[in-house]
Amino acid sequence: MTTVNYLDMKEFLPSDFLPIIVQLLAAIGFIVVTMFVTHAIGPKRSSSQKDAPFECGIDSVGDARAPISIKYFLTAILFVLFDVEVIFMYPWAVNFKKLGWFGFGEMVVFLALLMAGFYYIIRKGVLNWERD
């Protein structure tokens, strides 16, 4: 077992963080300048039509706390789940030759678990929106 001797490690100087600080200041400066310029040169016309709430072309009617079907949220969660699957598959696909059969076996187990979850949601009828 090896131990790490922190006295042998290089000590970081404040100047080592200069590139990060410069990039952070440049990003903040860009945001401030962009907001200032758009506010300064943008049109300032106000009317009852412009000040009315806009909901994707649909007139706002009724209570904002109207119940939404749980199937909408389940579909969104499933999208995130299978999107994360792709995020894990991409590095594997890039390095599959280096990982060899062990990496292939790990991906088969990973996909088997995900497909078991997919089978479960199909059996539960989560994606069947026609049913009440």
Average pLDDT of the residues in 48-63:
71
Per-residue model confidence (pLDDT) at position 97? 86
Q: HEC states along 8-57?
A: CCCCCCHHHHHHHHHHHHHHHHHHHHHHHHHHHHCCCCCCHHHHCCCECC
pLDDT surpasses 60 at 128: yes
Per-residue model confidence (pLDDT) at position 117? 84
Per-residue burial over 71-87, b = 16 or more CB atoms within 10 Å of its CB, e = otherwise:
eeeeeeeeeeeeeebee
Per-residue model confidence (pLDDT) at position 2? 62
Of residues 35 and 126, more confidence is placed in 35
The C-alpha torsion from 21 through 24 and 29 to 34, rounded to 10°, is: 170
CATH of the domain at 96: 1.20.58.1610
Structural domain includes residue 80: yes
Structural domain includes residue 17: no
Residue 55's beta-bridge partner residues? 58
The residue range of the domain holding 105 is: 68-124
Q: What is the pTM of this model?
A: 0.44
Name the domain count of the chain: 1
